[in-house]
Amino acid sequence: MLLALDVGNTNVTIGLYLDDELVATWRLASSRQATADEWGLHFLQLLKREGYSRYDISEAAMVSVVPPLNARLVEACKRYLGVPLMVLTSTHRSLRAVHYDNVAALGTDRLVNALAAWECYGRRRQRPTIAVDFGTATKLECVSADGEYLGGCIAPGIGISTEALARYAARLPRIELARPRQVIGKNVVAAMQAGIIYGFAGQADGLVTRLSREIAPHGPEPLVIATGGLARLVAAESKTIQIVDPHLTLEGVRLMYLKNREPE
Amino acid sequence: MLLAVDVGNTVISLGIYDGRELKAVWRISTDRRRTSDEYGLLFMNLLEHQGFTVSDVHAVAISSSVPPLVTVLEAMCHKYFRLKPLVVGPGTRTGVVIRCDNPREVGPDRIVIAAAVYEKYGGPAVVADFGTATIFDAISREGEYLGGVIAPGVAISVEALFQHAAKLPRIELVKPPSVLGRNTVHSMQSGVIFGFAGQVDALVERMTEQLGGPGAGVKVVATGDMAEVLAGETRSIQAVDPHLSLDGLRIIYERNRSRGER
């Protein structure tokens, strides 16, 4: 089985694949302090809880935007699971072409999202795709109908922006992220809920609409696939998001790993 | 002359009015630790630098989003200007009727903006105020304050992004050559500029809908730090008015003065 790791600035998401089937997922905090031994023990315990052991794992691959964690995770996989962990980078094989000024500087998390969106949704329908990942940052990735990476955008994410708002503004409370009854808020909590839910849906829609005009001015219209913790909440208010796939990034890790498993 | 003081969470704006005319504007950072003497010296220096003196100021009007600074600034006015300022708060005759769950909870900054936009543009109206938070206010055809929307502000969101994302660089907030970013800096500039433009359009359009739809003639005015940069990228903002808060303070001051004199 393949263990796929998505190391983000806030969470490490782990997926266990039996061939192309995702059979278990876990989320851990991206602790900058945890040692290789601690990561290794976490992996063993999580596997055991789902009825698996280290001997079920034959392969492991990772995409990471937190470089200091990479070496510890590689060591944890080697010593506790007995498998090498492939650290995917943007210069590995992925989409048929990657149009970016400096491919090595392109976040690998962005490239795997682009790859998964196109392979899972765009390819069959011969449509361009835009992947929207609502994480620490909101990241959008464009792929042409024939499977070339075209570029994208990076905007401040929902969680960190909302947290910053509560920290800076003396009078504002921390709120539950839920949909308010109407857009014009009659109290502070309702006003903030509207600003966040409808505002971030608008952020995504504004970017998708403008990107679509640039990458597919004459159609066919891009398919828009959202992922990330708050994707479902925002997608419900968005006018452009058509598909929510919570495991898009893990799927991208698996797909990119398969393309690079055999040496070139 | 009237000195209008708008205390925001990050910036204090000051404006001096000769009648209805705004003669000079200053901006200083909001510092909760500064004493009344420090604010007094700062205000006097700023006035003098533009050729005004303390005796030119015959009235001060204050609105504050930072409650602890109200007493500090009141003490400063007594000592340095020898006058009692008009502090906009519950009980002030602002001329703005508040239609919210708890009118006392509505910040004075919102009421000041509502007074200004209704006097200058009429209603119904939506104001987008780009500060620490981006605040959208809804004003009815009759000039009532109907409530609003509060979203994370541009600058604090971008700052949060730099702090949390290990691999992202700091960027200048300017419009990139295209929406599609082909390097990290352009990707971020695009995400920020066009993303916030999208946020504004989506919220303004939903608010306009609630205020009666496209036929209701809703005016949409932007104010605050980022208004100028973003307005050009939105389809919803009709006017940029950088001094809406200061004008609102002047308008409310005039309303109180004329009643007081009668």
Q: Residue B165's pLDDT is what?
A: 78
pLDDT tops 60 at residue B257? yes
Cα–Cα distance measured from residue B64 to residue B74, given in angstroms and rounded to the nearest whole number: 11
Interface residue B67 vs chain A (CB under 8 A): yes
SS (H, E, C) B95-131: CCCECCCCHHHCCHHHHHHHHHHHHHHCCCEEEEEEC
From edge to edge, which strands make up the β-sheet containing B86-87?
B21-29, B11-18, B2-7, B59-64, B86-87
Q: What phi, psi does B78 have (nearest 5°)?
A: -60, -45
Quick one: pLDDT band at residue A200, thresholds 50, 70, 90?
very high
pLDDT classification of A10: cutoffs 50, 70, 90:
confident
Residue B262 banded pLDDT, cuts 50, 70, 90: very low
Backbone angles phi, psi at A170, to 5 degrees: -55, -40
- B109 is an active site residue: yes
Largest CA distance in chain A: 61
Any alpha helices (H) in chain A, and if so which ranges? 36-49, 67-76, 108-117, 123-125, 158-168, 188-215, 231-235, 248-260
Of A66, A139, A161, the CB nearest to B160: A161
With beta carbons less than 8 A apart as the criterion, state whether A197 and A134 touch: no
Q: Tell whether the torsion through CA atoms of B8, B14, B19 and B22 is positive or negative.
A: negative
Instruction: Identify the band that residue A264 occupies on the pLDDT scale cut at 50, 70 and 90.
Output: low
Q: Look over chain B and give the mean of its residue pLDDT values, rounded to a whole number.
A: 94
SS3 state of residue A158: helix
In this prediction, residues A27-55 reach a mean pLDDT of 96
Query: In this complex, do A9 and B152 lie within 8 Å of one another by their Cβ atoms?
Result: no
User: Lowest mean pLDDT: which of A3-17, B54-68, B160-174, B225-239?
Assistant: B160-174
Q: What pLDDT does residue B219 have?
A: 98
Q: What's the maximum distance between 2 C-alpha atoms anywhere in chain B?
A: 66
Q: Look at residue A170 in the predicted model and tell me its pLDDT.
A: 63
pLDDT of residue B260: 47
Q: How far is CA A185 from the centre of its chain?
A: 32
Amino acid at A116: A
Confidence tier at A229 by pLDDT (50, 70, 90): confident
Q: How confident is the model at residue B258 (pLDDT cuts 50, 70, 90)?
A: low
Say if residue B1's pLDDT is above 70.
Answer: yes
Dump pLDDT digits (tens) for B165-209: 767 888 888 999 999 999 999 999 999 999 999 999 999 999 999
From the number of C-beta atoms within 10 Å of its C-beta (0-12, 13-18, 19+), residue A48 rates as exposed
**Token pair for B127:** 């104001």
- Distance, in Å, from the CA atom of B208 to the CA atom of B220, rounded to the nearest integer, reads 9
Instruction: Please determine, for residue A33, whether its predicted confidence score (pLDDT) is greater than 60.
Output: yes
Task: Quick: pLDDT tens for A44-97.
Answer: 999 999 999 999 999 999 999 999 999 999 999 999 999 999 999 999 999 999
B201 touching A, CB under 8 A? yes
Give residue-wise pLDDT tens across range B21-41: 999 999 999 999 999 999 999
Nearest to A198 among B66, B100, B203 (CB): B203
Q: Do strands B2-7 and A243-244 pair parallel, antiparallel, or not at all (unpaired)? A: unpaired
Report the share of chain B in percent with pLDDT over 90: 88
Kindly list the residues from chain A whose CB atom is less than 8 angstroms away from the CB atom of residue B153.
165, 168
pLDDT in tens, B97-155: 999 999 988 999 999 999 999 999 999 999 999 988 999 999 999 999 999 999 999 99
Closest CA to B135 of B224, B61, B63, B7: B224
What average pLDDT score do residues B79-97 get? 94
pLDDT at A167: 84
Whether residues A168 and B9 touch (CB distance < 8 A) is answered with: yes
Helix ranges restricted to H, B125-183: 154-164
Whole-number pLDDT of residue B259? 53
Angle ∠(A52,A54,A60) on CA atoms, nearest 5:
105
CA separation for the pair A186, B100 (Å, rounded) = 5
Our CA angle for B153, B154, B156, nearest 5°, is: 70
State whether A154 and B191 contact (CB < 8 Å).
Answer: yes
Would you call A162 and B152 a contact, using CB atoms and an 8 Å cutoff?
Answer: yes
Question: Which of B187, B211, B225 is the best residue to mutate to test the A interface, defined by the most A CB atoms within 10 Å of its own CB?
Answer: B187
| A66/B contact by beta carbon, under 8 A | yes
Cβ of A201 under 8 Å from any chain B Cβ? yes
Alpha carbons B149 and A197: distance in angstroms, whole number: 11
pLDDT at B114: 98
Q: What residues in B contact A143, CB-CB < 8 Å? A: none
The CA distance from A7 to A112, in Å, is 12
The shortest CB-CB distance from A151 to any of B153, B181, B198 is to B181
Question: What average pLDDT is seen over chain A?
Answer: 95
**In terms of Cα–Cα distance, which of A157, A137, A152, A253 is closest to A210?**
A152
Q: What integer pLDDT is reported at residue B261 of this predicted model?
A: 44
